[in-house]
Amino acid sequence: MSSDADVSPAEVVLGFVEEAEPWRLRSPQFPSKVGGKPAWLSQTGLPSLPELECEICRLPMVFLLQVYGPISSQDRSFHRTLFLFCCKTPECYTRNDSRCMKVFRSQLPRRNEFYSFEPPPEEEPPSDPEQDQSVLPVSGVKLCWVCGCPGNKACSRCHTVTYCGKHHQTLHWKDTHKKECCSGQKASTVTTSPFLFPESELVTEPEEEEGEEEEEEEGNKEDTTEAEGGQQDTHRVVDCPSLADGLPEGDLEEMAMHETEDNKVFQRFKKKIASEPHQVLRYSRGGSPLWVSSQHIPSDQDIPPCTCGARRIFEFQVMPQLLNSLCVDSTGASIDWGTLAVYACSDSCNHDNHYCPEVIWKQDFSTDQHTLSKHA
């Protein structure tokens, strides 16, 4: 996300997906992007294979997106990127369960061993046809052909391709490597693995703020509408014999109030994104997420502090609209979320120059909202 990501807590920067030339999405350009392979920032201290596994099914996760968010007031964070990974097993996406996702932070000072001190060029630099895309150029870290994550496991026949593990080696073998292996032709480094999400750039623009007077007026209007809707919800619940016969009156009233509050939060979400319905990301370091539901909102205690001892603060959220760009819809189980809120160390510590795990909070839509959510 360009250097304007160092924003005040009150400011929100919106992210949108756009097509881009491949060279603009590589590490020396410090991109914000969705899909493809990670454009790693630091070339050392990358996440290990166990760190990149889904905590539910234990299969390797796939790269979802990265957000470039430097902190101009910190020399150690002159370059700073957060990387988000997710599982591709639809059954792992249970309600409000974040274990199928992980996020890591990497940062570098302006003067470092991997990139020029000067800003990246605006024009495409000359390409080196001999450069091996499966190895990071300075550190020599080998990468998995399938996912672009660290991979030292080489094909036992040709020894020219490396993988993060047996699972991705099998995927590549079935896809193209069975024909390429030991045939004399080099394994294609350009062909995109079907395991990856479609690649695109994340471009940003500031969110236009609404007038306070208009917001207050709309809020009052919403409250009136919500109250009326709440009464309708209560009547609907009471009129349902299966619920009315089985629940005390107090529980029914509590249920109706909960539905009203949940609807209020969802309407606020829809109203906020209405002017820019294609936004896939909201960045506001130190700000607050835009929740889709009144359920499963974290308290301060739910977000653990960083290992350095500093508290973690909200940095950005991924919107459900991104799912439309990932081609993951299916009639059965599917990769899904309401919103993904990312919290990172408020001090942006160095963590011994390793990629630092941060916190991701997955909130799903309530059942009634789910059908409308992707088309909101």
Note the pLDDT tens digit of each residue in 26-77. Answer: 999 999 999 999 999 999 999 999 999 999 999 999 999 999 999 999 999 9
pLDDT of residue 93: 94
Mean pLDDT taken over the chain: 82
Angle, helices 212-238/249-273, rounded to nearest 10 degrees: 150
The token pair at 91 is 């059954």
Task: Report which of 373, 277, 325 is spatially closest to residue 14, judged by C-alpha positions.
Answer: 277
169-175 CB contacts, 8 Å cutoff, 24+ apart: 171/146, 171/195, 172/145, 172/146
pLDDT of residue 157: 66
The token pair at 361 is 């909070």
Strand partners for 314: 343
pLDDT of residue 240: 38
Average pLDDT over residues 184-202: 74
pLDDT of residue 233: 41
Q: Model confidence at 213, in pLDDT bands (50, 70, 90)?
A: very low
Average pLDDT over residues 339-346: 98
pLDDT of residue 206: 95
Which residue would you say has higher pLDDT here, 307 or 10?
307
Average pLDDT over residues 334-357: 93
pLDDT of residue 193: 77
Strand partners for 101: 86
Which residue would you say has higher pLDDT here, 190 or 349?
349
Residues 36 and 200: their CA atoms lie apart, in Å, by: 8
pLDDT in tens, 75-109: 999 999 999 999 999 999 999 999 999 999 999 99
Task: Report which of 139, 140, 142 is spatially closest to residue 160, judged by C-alpha positions.
Answer: 142
Q: Model confidence at 251, in pLDDT bands (50, 70, 90)?
A: low
Task: Report which of 369, 370, 318, 364 is spatially closest to residue 340, judged by C-alpha positions.
Answer: 318
The model's pTM: 0.82
CA dihedral over 181, 183, 188, 194, signed as positive or negative: negative
Q: Model confidence at 237, in pLDDT bands (50, 70, 90)?
A: very low
Return all residues near 201 (Cβ < 8 A) that are at least 6 apart: 17, 18, 19, 20, 24, 25, 31, 32, 33, 34
pLDDT of residue 232: 40
pLDDT in tens, 267-321: 999 999 999 999 999 999 999 999 999 999 999 999 999 999 999 999 999 999 9
Q: Model confidence at 257, in pLDDT bands (50, 70, 90)?
A: low
The token pair at 112 is 């470092």
Q: Is the pLDDT of residue 242 over 70?
A: no
pLDDT in tens, 361-371: 999 987 655 54
The token pair at 225 is 């509408």
pLDDT of residue 82: 98
Q: Is the pLDDT of residue 147 over 60?
A: yes
pLDDT of residue 328: 76
* Residue 159 to residues 182, 207, 297, Cα–Cα distance (Å): 9, 50, 49
Structural contact between residues 74 and 348, judged by C-beta atoms closer than 8 angstroms: yes
